[in-house]
Structure 1
């Protein structure tokens, strides 16, 4: 799968939240699969995946729950992850740091 599905700043967040390399590898693989599954939403991939990681808060069971939520209704995912409002780009920057331009 395409490595670019996960931005550098989201990768940094995943590294912080999931410090165990084996766990992190599984998290990243699941995020890549989810990104492909959610393509039809026409939403920012980074926004959707960040919502999953934020909800997980470093807990694998919470991560699995967030993935299930994403597959059920990505709009509910964004709301639960704090990225459902109009100012989501600012919130995303607060969660991950500024995007490289």
Structure 2
């Protein structure tokens, strides 16, 4: 059985491009925040929202992780993936999944 992970391969690829040597730490932070918030890995959309909002900026990354824990629905809205059609924005940012 495959372990569920918050950060999919396509999201991990973008994290590697944006954060370089710190990519593993960023992935760990996202996955830990999801476990703390949801008690399990969340849908890819949540991790996508964090990375889209942060866009390679460490301060924004921590802000997105805080927002996830306060109200994940607000995080979806500030990342512009809170409405119908969000899948195409995620695909545009991370590549087709």
TM-score (norm 2): 0.85
Is the Cα–Cα contact under 8 Å of residues 5 and 31 in structure 2 kept in the other structure? no
Task: Measure, in 1, the Cα distance between the counterparts of 2:95 and 2:23.
Answer: 20
The runs of at least 4 consecutive aligned structure 1 residues that moved more than 2 Å come to: 2-5, 37-40
**Per-residue CA shift, 1:39-91, capped at 9, x if unaligned?**
37xxx621111111111111111100110011101111000011101111121
5+ long unaligned stretches in structure 1: none
Is the Cα–Cα contact under 8 Å of residues 7 and 44 in structure 2 kept in the other structure? yes
Is the Cα–Cα contact under 8 Å of residues 35 and 45 in structure 1 kept in the other structure? no
Equivalent pairs counted in the alignment come to 93
Is the Cα–Cα contact under 8 Å of residues 6 and 47 in structure 2 kept in the other structure? no
